[in-house]
Protein backbone atom coordinates (compact mmCIF):
# COMPACT_ATOMS: atom_id res chain seq x y z
CA UNK A 1 0.00 0.00 0.00
CA UNK A 2 1.48 3.33 -1.11
CA UNK A 3 0.68 6.41 0.97
CA UNK A 4 1.33 9.94 -0.26
CA UNK A 5 1.79 12.59 2.42
CA UNK A 6 -0.02 15.73 1.25
CA UNK A 7 0.45 17.94 4.33
CA UNK A 8 2.19 17.96 7.72
CA UNK A 9 1.69 20.41 10.57
CA UNK A 10 3.17 20.46 14.07
CA UNK A 11 0.41 20.65 16.68
CA UNK A 12 0.65 20.52 20.50
CA UNK A 13 3.94 18.64 20.36
CA UNK A 14 2.55 16.08 17.92
CA UNK A 15 1.83 16.02 14.20
CA UNK A 16 -1.27 16.48 12.09
CA UNK A 17 -0.79 14.87 8.68
CA UNK A 18 -2.93 14.22 5.62
CA UNK A 19 -2.40 11.22 3.36
CA UNK A 20 -3.88 9.99 0.10
CA UNK A 21 -3.93 6.42 -1.17
CA UNK A 22 -5.69 4.34 -3.78
CA UNK A 23 -8.44 2.40 -2.08
CA UNK A 24 -9.15 -1.17 -3.15
CA UNK A 25 -12.49 -0.95 -1.29
CA UNK A 26 -14.10 2.15 -2.81
CA UNK A 27 -12.08 2.00 -6.07
CA UNK A 28 -10.77 5.55 -6.09
CA UNK A 29 -8.17 7.73 -4.37
CA UNK A 30 -9.05 8.45 -0.74
CA UNK A 31 -7.69 10.96 1.75
CA UNK A 32 -7.52 10.70 5.51
CA UNK A 33 -5.97 12.76 8.28
CA UNK A 34 -4.11 11.53 11.34
CA UNK A 35 -3.07 13.33 14.50
CA UNK A 36 -0.13 11.63 16.17
CA UNK A 37 0.42 12.74 19.78
CA UNK A 38 3.96 13.36 21.06
CA UNK A 39 3.95 10.03 22.93
CA UNK A 40 3.68 8.01 19.70
CA UNK A 41 6.82 6.12 18.73
CA UNK A 42 7.81 2.68 17.48
CA UNK A 43 8.53 1.68 21.08
CA UNK A 44 5.29 3.22 22.36
CA UNK A 45 2.36 2.55 20.06
CA UNK A 46 -0.66 4.61 21.06
CA UNK A 47 -4.40 3.81 20.82
CA UNK A 48 -6.56 5.38 18.11
CA UNK A 49 -9.85 7.26 18.07
CA UNK A 50 -11.52 7.08 14.64
CA UNK A 51 -13.66 10.13 13.90
CA UNK A 52 -16.46 10.02 11.30
CA UNK A 53 -17.73 13.34 10.01
CA UNK A 54 -21.19 14.38 8.83
CA UNK A 55 -22.89 15.34 5.59
CA UNK A 56 -20.80 17.51 3.21
CA UNK A 57 -17.68 17.24 5.41
CA UNK A 58 -14.16 15.96 4.70
CA UNK A 59 -11.33 15.00 7.05
CA UNK A 60 -10.57 18.70 7.50
CA UNK A 61 -13.70 19.80 9.35
CA UNK A 62 -12.98 17.95 12.56
CA UNK A 63 -9.23 18.37 12.55
CA UNK A 64 -9.42 22.13 12.01
CA UNK A 65 -12.57 23.06 13.98
CA UNK A 66 -13.01 20.65 16.90
CA UNK A 67 -10.02 21.73 18.98
CA UNK A 68 -9.21 18.12 19.83
CA UNK A 69 -5.43 18.09 19.43
CA UNK A 70 -4.52 19.61 22.80
CA UNK A 71 -6.35 17.02 24.86
CA UNK A 72 -5.43 14.14 22.54
CA UNK A 73 -1.77 15.16 22.96
CA UNK A 74 -2.15 15.19 26.73
CA UNK A 75 -3.87 11.80 26.77
CA UNK A 76 -1.61 10.12 24.23
CA UNK A 77 -4.37 9.24 21.77
CA UNK A 78 -4.03 9.30 17.99
CA UNK A 79 -7.02 10.53 15.97
CA UNK A 80 -7.81 9.32 12.46
CA UNK A 81 -10.41 11.12 10.33
CA UNK A 82 -11.38 9.61 6.95
CA UNK A 83 -13.37 11.33 4.24
CA UNK A 84 -17.15 10.92 4.22
CA UNK A 85 -17.42 9.23 0.82
CA UNK A 86 -15.52 8.36 -2.34
CA UNK A 87 -14.80 11.38 -4.54
CA UNK A 88 -13.88 12.06 -8.14
CA UNK A 89 -15.29 12.76 -11.60
CA UNK A 90 -16.10 9.08 -12.13
CA UNK A 91 -18.01 8.69 -8.85
CA UNK A 92 -21.83 8.69 -9.21
CA UNK A 93 -23.49 11.56 -7.37
CA UNK A 94 -26.96 12.83 -6.57
CA UNK A 95 -28.45 13.74 -9.96
CA UNK A 96 -29.87 16.97 -8.53
CA UNK A 97 -26.67 17.92 -6.75
CA UNK A 98 -28.29 17.64 -3.30
CA UNK A 99 -26.01 17.64 -0.27
CA UNK A 100 -27.64 14.69 1.52
CA UNK A 101 -26.85 11.90 -0.92
CA UNK A 102 -23.92 10.83 -3.06
CA UNK A 103 -20.53 12.51 -2.81
CA UNK A 104 -19.97 13.75 0.73
CA UNK A 105 -22.81 11.55 1.99
CA UNK A 106 -21.63 7.93 2.04
CA UNK A 107 -23.58 7.07 5.22
CA UNK A 108 -20.89 4.55 6.28
CA UNK A 109 -22.65 1.57 4.71
CA UNK A 110 -21.96 -0.94 1.95
CA UNK A 111 -24.23 -0.06 -0.96
CA UNK A 112 -25.89 -2.97 -2.75
CA UNK A 113 -27.66 -1.11 -5.57
CA UNK A 114 -26.10 -0.03 -8.89
CA UNK A 115 -24.41 2.27 -9.69
CA UNK A 116 -23.58 3.03 -6.08
CA UNK A 117 -22.38 -0.43 -5.07
CA UNK A 118 -19.04 -0.28 -6.89
CA UNK A 119 -17.84 2.77 -4.98
CA UNK A 120 -19.96 3.38 -1.88
CA UNK A 121 -18.47 0.72 0.39
CA UNK A 122 -17.67 3.06 3.25
CA UNK A 123 -18.50 0.53 5.97
CA UNK A 124 -15.78 -1.84 4.78
CA UNK A 125 -13.42 1.06 4.23
CA UNK A 126 -13.76 2.33 7.80
CA UNK A 127 -13.95 -1.06 9.52
CA UNK A 128 -11.37 -3.02 7.51
CA UNK A 129 -9.18 -1.16 5.03
CA UNK A 130 -8.41 2.05 6.90
CA UNK A 131 -7.41 0.48 10.25
CA UNK A 132 -5.14 -1.97 8.43
CA UNK A 133 -3.41 0.94 6.67
CA UNK A 134 -3.10 3.01 9.84
CA UNK A 135 -1.81 0.15 11.98
CA UNK A 136 0.62 -0.88 9.25
CA UNK A 137 2.19 2.55 8.67
CA UNK A 138 2.07 4.49 11.95
CA UNK A 139 3.15 3.97 15.58
CA UNK A 140 -0.33 3.03 16.78
CA UNK A 141 -1.80 -0.09 18.36
CA UNK A 142 -4.90 -2.04 17.41
CA UNK A 143 -6.68 -0.65 20.48
CA UNK A 144 -9.33 1.69 19.14
CA UNK A 145 -12.50 3.67 19.79
CA UNK A 146 -14.86 5.44 17.42
CA UNK A 147 -16.82 8.68 17.41
CA UNK A 148 -18.62 10.98 14.99
CA UNK A 149 -21.08 13.76 14.27
CA UNK A 150 -24.53 13.61 12.65
CA UNK A 151 -24.21 11.16 9.72
CA UNK A 152 -20.85 10.27 11.24
CA UNK A 153 -22.49 9.74 14.62
CA UNK A 154 -24.80 7.27 12.87
CA UNK A 155 -21.73 5.60 11.39
CA UNK A 156 -19.85 5.44 14.67
CA UNK A 157 -22.76 3.97 16.62
CA UNK A 158 -23.68 1.35 14.02
CA UNK A 159 -20.07 0.31 13.42
CA UNK A 160 -19.41 -0.08 17.15
CA UNK A 161 -22.59 -2.09 17.68
CA UNK A 162 -21.82 -4.38 14.71
CA UNK A 163 -18.17 -4.82 15.79
CA UNK A 164 -18.40 -4.70 19.56
CA UNK A 165 -15.26 -6.78 20.02
CA UNK A 166 -13.16 -4.30 18.00
CA UNK A 167 -13.91 -0.97 19.73
CA UNK A 168 -13.37 -0.15 23.40
CA UNK A 169 -15.91 2.70 23.40
CA UNK A 170 -18.16 4.77 21.15
CA UNK A 171 -19.48 8.33 21.28
CA UNK A 172 -21.47 10.65 19.07
CA UNK A 173 -22.59 14.23 18.67
CA UNK A 174 -26.08 14.80 17.22
CA UNK A 175 -26.25 11.34 15.62
CA UNK A 176 -28.91 10.13 13.18
CA UNK A 177 -29.97 7.29 15.48
CA UNK A 178 -32.97 5.92 13.60
CA UNK A 179 -32.25 6.54 9.88
CA UNK A 180 -34.79 3.96 8.72
CA UNK A 181 -37.63 6.30 9.71
CA UNK A 182 -36.29 9.81 8.94
CA UNK A 183 -35.96 11.67 5.60
CA UNK A 184 -32.15 11.67 5.41
CA UNK A 185 -31.99 7.95 5.99
CA UNK A 186 -34.97 7.04 3.82
CA UNK A 187 -33.46 8.84 0.83
CA UNK A 188 -29.98 7.41 1.28
CA UNK A 189 -31.05 3.87 2.14
CA UNK A 190 -33.53 3.62 -0.75
CA UNK A 191 -30.80 4.52 -3.21
CA UNK A 192 -27.90 2.65 -1.63
CA UNK A 193 -29.73 -0.43 -0.30
CA UNK A 194 -32.96 -0.72 -2.30
CA UNK A 195 -36.65 -0.80 -1.43
CA UNK A 196 -36.54 -3.70 1.05
CA UNK A 197 -36.65 -1.86 4.36
CA UNK A 198 -35.64 -4.94 6.32
CA UNK A 199 -32.12 -4.54 4.91
CA UNK A 200 -31.97 -0.99 6.25
CA UNK A 201 -32.04 -2.21 9.84
CA UNK A 202 -28.45 -3.46 9.53
CA UNK A 203 -27.45 0.22 9.56
CA UNK A 204 -29.93 1.55 12.11
CA UNK A 205 -28.71 2.11 15.68
CA UNK A 206 -32.14 1.72 17.25
CA UNK A 207 -32.53 -1.70 15.61
CA UNK A 208 -28.96 -2.85 16.26
CA UNK A 209 -28.90 -1.94 19.94
CA UNK A 210 -31.55 -4.57 20.61
CA UNK A 211 -29.35 -7.31 19.10
CA UNK A 212 -25.92 -6.62 20.57
CA UNK A 213 -24.73 -8.78 23.44
CA UNK A 214 -21.43 -7.04 24.15
CA UNK A 215 -22.39 -3.56 25.36
CA UNK A 216 -19.73 -1.08 24.24
CA UNK A 217 -19.59 1.99 26.55
CA UNK A 218 -21.61 4.69 24.77
CA UNK A 219 -21.77 8.47 25.23
CA UNK A 220 -24.06 10.71 23.14
CA UNK A 221 -24.36 14.49 23.29
CA UNK A 222 -27.30 16.26 21.65
CA UNK A 223 -28.07 19.98 21.58
CA UNK A 224 -31.66 20.91 22.33
CA UNK A 225 -31.48 23.85 19.87
CA UNK A 226 -30.38 21.62 16.99
CA UNK A 227 -32.33 22.55 13.86
CA UNK A 228 -32.50 18.87 12.83
CA UNK A 229 -33.50 17.53 16.25
CA UNK A 230 -37.14 16.59 15.73
CA UNK A 231 -37.27 15.65 12.04
CA UNK A 232 -33.94 13.88 11.48
CA UNK A 233 -32.21 12.97 14.76
CA UNK A 234 -34.88 11.77 17.21
CA UNK A 235 -32.68 10.96 20.23
CA UNK A 236 -35.78 9.90 22.17
CA UNK A 237 -35.96 6.83 19.91
CA UNK A 238 -32.46 5.81 20.99
CA UNK A 239 -33.27 6.35 24.66
CA UNK A 240 -36.31 4.10 24.28
CA UNK A 241 -34.42 1.40 22.35
CA UNK A 242 -31.57 1.39 24.88
CA UNK A 243 -34.00 1.12 27.78
CA UNK A 244 -35.77 -1.82 26.14
CA UNK A 245 -32.40 -3.53 25.52
CA UNK A 246 -31.02 -2.84 28.98
CA UNK A 247 -28.15 -0.92 27.38
CA UNK A 248 -26.33 1.53 29.67
CA UNK A 249 -26.50 4.56 27.36
CA UNK A 250 -25.36 7.98 28.58
CA UNK A 251 -27.23 10.57 26.51
CA UNK A 252 -26.84 14.20 27.51
CA UNK A 253 -29.15 16.93 26.23
CA UNK A 254 -27.17 20.17 26.12
CA UNK A 255 -29.22 23.33 26.56
CA UNK A 256 -28.98 25.93 23.80
CA UNK A 257 -26.54 24.06 21.56
CA UNK A 258 -27.12 23.55 17.83
CA UNK A 259 -25.71 21.19 15.17
CA UNK A 260 -22.48 23.09 14.52
CA UNK A 261 -18.82 22.67 15.41
CA UNK A 262 -19.33 25.23 18.17
CA UNK A 263 -21.23 22.41 19.88
CA UNK A 264 -18.60 19.78 19.11
CA UNK A 265 -15.70 21.94 20.29
CA UNK A 266 -17.53 22.70 23.53
CA UNK A 267 -17.71 19.04 24.57
CA UNK A 268 -14.94 17.25 22.66
CA UNK A 269 -12.73 17.19 25.75
CA UNK A 270 -15.40 15.22 27.63
CA UNK A 271 -15.53 12.70 24.80
CA UNK A 272 -11.76 12.31 24.57
CA UNK A 273 -11.48 11.72 28.32
CA UNK A 274 -14.37 9.25 28.13
CA UNK A 275 -12.55 7.30 25.43
CA UNK A 276 -9.18 7.52 27.22
CA UNK A 277 -10.71 5.85 30.26
CA UNK A 278 -11.61 2.81 28.19
CA UNK A 279 -8.66 2.84 25.78
CA UNK A 280 -6.15 2.74 28.62
CA UNK A 281 -7.78 -0.16 30.49
Over residues 216-265, the pLDDT tens digits come to: 999 999 999 999 999 999 999 999 999 999 999 999 999 999 999 999 99
59 assigned to active site: no
Task: Find the catalytic residue in 11, 53, 147, 150.
Answer: 150
What value does the mean pLDDT of the chain take?
Answer: 98
Task: Find the catalytic residue in 16, 221, 226, 271.
Answer: 226
The mean pLDDT value for 86-106 works out to 97
150 assigned to active site: yes
Give pLDDT, residue 45: 98
Over residues 144-197, the pLDDT tens digits come to: 999 999 999 999 999 999 999 999 999 999 999 999 999 999 999 999 999 999
CA distance 118 to 132: 21
Task: Find the catalytic residue in 16, 69, 259, 275.
Answer: 259
230 assigned to active site: no
CA distance 178 to 153: 11
Amino acid sequence: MSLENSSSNRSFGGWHKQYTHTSRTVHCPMRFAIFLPPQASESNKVPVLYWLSGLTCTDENFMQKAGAHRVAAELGIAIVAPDTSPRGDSIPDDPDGAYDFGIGAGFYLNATEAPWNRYYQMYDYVVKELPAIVEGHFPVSNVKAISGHSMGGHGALTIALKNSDAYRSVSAFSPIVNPAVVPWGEKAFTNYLGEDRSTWLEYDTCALIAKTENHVPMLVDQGDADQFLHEQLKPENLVSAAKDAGYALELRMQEGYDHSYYFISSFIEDHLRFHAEHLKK
